[in-house]
Chain A
């Protein structure tokens, strides 16, 4: 029997392993180093972010509703301004699938309206003999899709000659659900545009202040201090009343966005400034400067990308404030103006407690407001936790 070891003093046998040689073998062994050892930063962030279930769900929810505002016309059963004068203040109705114990296609009962001559209230009752089967991918109110082409395709429409007010109607007989879907377009974009603006302002102003320092920094610091110490709603109110009444609603929309963004950049500017103050001493910045890079290039190309993820996370957390701000301003009658329709404008319909007592469904637009704000808060929390995966 041959021993695996050579005899003492005998020459060693020449041996070459024919397995391929990889110097990084040990490091590449995922079982030894763990699954995250070689992940890129983006991948690490994603892994961390995924662990925050609520943030992930909120992110998906937000993506879905932002996609939905692209096709509001298709999703809403009625048009924004369609008036149904026979159905004023009609209450929400439910979709049924059972009629007299039998399973049928989704349908709603027709509504009978009687006017109570004592209170002048309209009372609506289900007409159990009138079954209006819903239609899907159907032809309804015609609309101009993004002013590009005309169409009348809807996701769901009432039966021919029937009505479908899932969330009731308002004082002009307009469908609350459709208007809420259209309102999302304005309410959701105003937050994003405002944040985009404050983002740009914050990076430029905070960047110069932090990188250059000196007088400019002093001035910027004082201004941010002042802006942060003034309560935002009164200031928004004051600025919103500046917008002339003669402006078109679309210009007002732009104006409100500018106002919201104009006061919000201070938080971001402070974050950028304090980050730059510490980062500008780093060797790679000196290297870039010695190579002759201008400060705009050093800031934009080398410094900002280093903490972009933090900035995006904190910007996400300021979107809810803007959406609430727009809603409050519109509700008080100094924000957007009809015919532009936002959730704030819709909520002005529910302005007095009599209306809440009689027609509580007009409060429905507050539900998407709450959901969107919660989603942005959770998403921001998750992003913030994931922004620095090397903690």
Chain B
């Protein structure tokens, strides 16, 4: 088992390296750099740019050197925990980001838990009551969840929360807790605000998950051992729960790999609309102002989050299903 985990962690490294190269290329692609647009912006406003400071920053981040050198410089910094410098905020990226990363992880994890919580019973119901009205109805509701764009859902929910509860639901915490260190009260405030983004982001993923769980469970339920168990007079509940459900559970865990990117994508858009204190709004601002290191670290972080999420799901799957770790062992 330990060997399997080690092996998975080692294979993760080249993936992360390729991702970092890709991310760096993307943030380098726009013509010009932050300094050029910044200086011209200042000139347009009739202010003198502090050229000395800019020259110093340019030198520090090697803007005169070729791209490959800068890439390795950046990569080396990341490995040491230095994500570079945010030109717009004039602060190291680490300080700008603050707890946004943790909040993004919190939102994603809670969303996935929510997705599971909803999808699991509904998926079982749909599979055991195939082609019933309940099945059709739930499938239809799920399809609507897929089809409605996240941002519209966010806007509409914002409106109704305002009308029905009289609360404004932007942000992830009460206004008084912004920029405050983490405390118990702040944590409670975050939990109170969390359910709306989770609900919005979760809708699309839940529907997709229900569909896949239903299909998996149906395949399993058609197998002969189920018929045998039923013929021998086992209680229908037990027939479903004891074996077919366990088999479907495997897929449930491995499916993290496919829903996590979707959850994070949805979380970004929703966060921008609701102006949550996660990576979304800051990422889009950084991208637009060519604040390349800030944008780059966000992209890198989001990609790493999915890669690690998949890793966790793979390990959980190996723990759950011996065939996988033994299968992997035989390959070597």
Contact = CB atoms under 8 A, between A and B. Distances in A.
Contacts of B329: none
B148 A230 contact: no
B233 interface: no
B147 A237 contact: no
Interface string B281-293: 0011001100000
A269 interface: no
A225 B13 CA distance: 13
Contact of B288 (A223, A241, A244, A370): A241
Interface in B266-322: 266, 268-269, 272, 283-284, 287-288, 295, 298-299, 302-303, 306-307, 310
A230 B307 CA distance: 8
B226 interface: no
Contacts of A223: 18
B268 A233 contact: yes
Interface residues of A, number: 40
Contacts of A328: 149-151, 269
A105 interface: no
B152 interface: yes
A356 B156 contact: yes
Interface in A288-316: none
B314 to A, nearest CB: 12
Nearest to A230: B303
B162 interface: yes
A379 to B, nearest CB: 12
Interface residue tally on B, bucketed by range = 35 or more
A353 B144 contact: no
The SS class assigned to the A binding surface is helix
A353 B30 contact: no
A347 interface: yes
A371 to B, nearest CB: 8
B14 A238 contact: no
Interface of B: 14-15, 18-19, 22-23, 26-27, 29-31, 143-144, 146-152, 155-156, 158-159, 162-163, 257, 260-262, 264-266, 268-269, 272, 283-284, 287-288, 295, 298-299, 302-303, 306-307, 310
Interface of A: 222-223, 225-226, 228-235, 237-239, 241-242, 244, 320, 324, 327-328, 331-332, 334, 347, 350-351, 353, 356-357, 363, 366, 369-371, 373-374, 377-378
17 contacts: A226-B22, A230-B261, A230-B302, A230-B303, A231-B265, A231-B302, A232-B261, A233-B264, A235-B26, A238-B27, A238-B295, A241-B30, A332-B269, A332-B272, A334-B284, A357-B162, A363-B156
